[in-house]
Amino acid sequence: MLKKTFVCFVCFPVFIFLSSCASTTVWDDTIPEDQLATIHFNRIDPSGYNGIPVRKWDNVKIPQGEAAFVADVNISYAGIMVLVHGMEFAYNFESGKEYSITGIAQNMQWGVKIYSGSDSTDYDFVPFKTQPVFR
């Protein structure tokens, strides 16, 4: 009996939590898979996609082409974590590719690094449309 209780109240909720973390949202399921790009957000919480409000995304499949995001972004800068709200950036995503996006401060500009594929050295830096102001 104790074993069944452990499985029901401990293992099952952990499994559900881990399953939900790995889920991928498909923006439009009428678009063929070969015309979608997969995006993994790392310490980024998008609140808008092409002018449309969205819920929290960790992973999403969107149509190929230019995409504009509004997001809250956590950026590690000078050894501290900085959260900047409402940052805007846009990028042209290619179909069939996987991307990973993370916030960064680079050369006195704030923006995102957009990695394509599994090569951690192959990325594009995209500055935010408006740079954050700290007081």
Q: What is the pTM of this model?
A: 0.76
Show Cβ contacts of residue 134 under 8 Å, excluding neighbours closer than 6 positions: none
Domain boundaries, the chain: 24-127
Using one digit for the tens of pLDDT, what is the confidence trace for 1-32? 545 444 444 444 443 433 345 577 777 788 88
**Model confidence pLDDT, tens digit, residues 87-96:** 999 999 999 9
pLDDT at 101: 94
Sort 14 into a burial class: Cβ within 10 Å, 0-12 / 13-18 / 19+: exposed
Phi, psi of 5 (to 5 degrees): -65, -45
pLDDT digits (tens, 9 = 90+) for 30-80: 888 899 999 999 999 999 999 999 988 889 999 999 999 999 998 877 777
Tell me what the mean pLDDT of segment 118-128 comes to.
84
Query: DSSP characters for 77-128?
Result: ETTEEEEEEEEEEEEEEPTT-EEEEEEEEETTEEEEEEEESS-TT-EEEEE-
